[in-house]
Amino acid sequence: MEIAIGSDHAGYELKRQIIEHLIQKGVEVKDFGSYSTERCDYPVYGYKVAKAVASGECEKGILICGTGVGISLAANKVKGIRAVVCSEPYSAQLSRRHNNTNVLALGARVVGSELARMIVDCWLEAEYEGGRHQKRIDMIAEIENDEFDI
């Protein structure tokens, strides 16, 4: 499994720690930047990671900005991306099991690094359950394609 990871300047330090954590777990990581704490624009990194996931280059993505909000909004504009911003493990796990999220966003100014690691672990370990949830995922895709007929 290869994980795409990206952050803006606000998320850079937490990104570094999450990369280290993932490498220790034996997870392959592809870092799409940013590569310093120099001020930059979160949509750039949200887009790069989302594209890597949507194209199949990477299986899942992790994004970090100050709140996780801006970078997840940017990622969710890429077709096929279901990005969730989480600040606790329960939603992270359920977002995989029920919503088949393929990008996790974290707020470096919201969660500490211990909690962030726990959220990442729960999210990566949880499996999508399919079944009754698939119909709703399909509906989201229909909205994305402007084909939602209700």
For CA atoms 88, 68, 12, 109, give the dihedral sign. negative
Among 54, 69, 94, 118, binds ligand RB5 (CB under 6 A): 69
Question: d(Cα 11, Cα 85) in Å, to the nearest integer?
Answer: 13
**In this structure, are residues 95 and 76 in contact, taking their beta carbons and an 8 Å threshold?**
no
The answer to whether residue 110 forms part of the interface with ligand RB5 (CB under 6 A) is: no
**Looking at beta carbons only, is 66 or 89 nearer to ligand RB5?**
66
**Looking at beta carbons only, is 67 or 93 nearer to ligand RB5?**
67
**Looking at beta carbons only, is 67 or 101 nearer to ligand RB5?**
67
Bridging pattern class, strands 83-85 and 103-107: parallel
Taking the complex as a whole, how short is the minimal distance between the CB of residue 83 and ligand RB5, in angstroms? Answer: 13
- 40 among known catalytic residues: no
Which SS3 state, helix, strand or coil, does residue 133 take?
A: helix
**Contact residues for ligand RB5 (CB under 6 A)?**
8, 10, 42, 65-67, 69-70
